[in-house]
């Protein structure tokens, strides 16, 4: 019985180590399933250049707030569209800027932005007063 457990643990450890070095890009679709795309080395270099974060400032009205472990995600409605702004103390340049916002409040944020599928995301580095 001990041999079976050791073998099982060894197989799980090997699978975990092999998956860490893989070249996969995962995304979670709206229905909660995970979609994984394996990239070739040529695609990886080009994709990394395209996926580089850009720093932007956005001002918008808070339409929804989703509380998380270290902060919250405020969904901002702007003239340019909708942004999912992740606001947390660890991500802010100055932790003293952290504050709770309310639905309906207009806020301005600056941070790293990226796009996943058709959604715009911002990791907030500055929460302006």
pLDDT average, residue stretch 90-115: 94
Pairing of strands 54-67, 34-38: unpaired
Domain that residue 28 falls in? 2-50
pLDDT, greater one: 105 or 29: 105
Position 87 scores a pLDDT of 96
Position 76 scores a pLDDT of 96
Position 23 scores a pLDDT of 52
Structural domains in the chain (count): 2
50 pLDDT above the threshold of 60: no
- Residue 10 to residue 89: CA distance in whole angstroms: 39
Position 106 scores a pLDDT of 95
pLDDT tens string 52-90: 559 999 999 999 999 998 899 999 999 989 999 999 999
* pLDDT band per the 50, 70, 90 thresholds, residue 129: confident
Position 28 scores a pLDDT of 57
Quick one: 28 and 91 in the same domain? no
Q: What are phi and psi of 22, to 5 degrees?
A: -75, 165
Domain with residue 79: its CATH number is 2.40.50.140
- Average pLDDT score over the chain: 81
Position 32 scores a pLDDT of 62
**Which DSSP letter does residue 40 get?**
P
Quick one: 43 and 81 in the same domain? no
Position 12 scores a pLDDT of 78
Quick one: 40 and 72 in the same domain? no
pLDDT tens string 21-34: 555 555 655 666 66
Q: According to DSSP H, which parts of the chain are helical?
A: 2-20, 41-50
Token code pair at residue 58: 């956005």
Quick one: 74 and 11 in the same domain? no
CB 98 within 8 A of CB 107: no
């Amino acid at each position: 019985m001990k041999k079976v457990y050791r073998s099982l643990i060894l197989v799980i450890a090997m699978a975990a180590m092999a998956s860490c070095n893989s070249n996969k890009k995962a995304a979670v679709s709206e229905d909660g399933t995970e979609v994984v795309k394996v990239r070739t080395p040529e695609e990886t270099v080009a994709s990394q250049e395209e996926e580089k974060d850009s720093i932007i400032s956005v001002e918008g009205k808070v339409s929804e707030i989703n509380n998380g472990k270290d902060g919250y995600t405020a969904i901002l409605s702007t003239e340019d569209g909708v942004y999912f702004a992740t606001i947390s103390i660890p991500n802010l340049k100055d932790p003293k800027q952290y504050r709770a916002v309310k639905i309906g409040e207009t806020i301005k944020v600056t941070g790293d932005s990226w796009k996943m599928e058709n959604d715009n995301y911002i990791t907030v580095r500055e929460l302006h007063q």
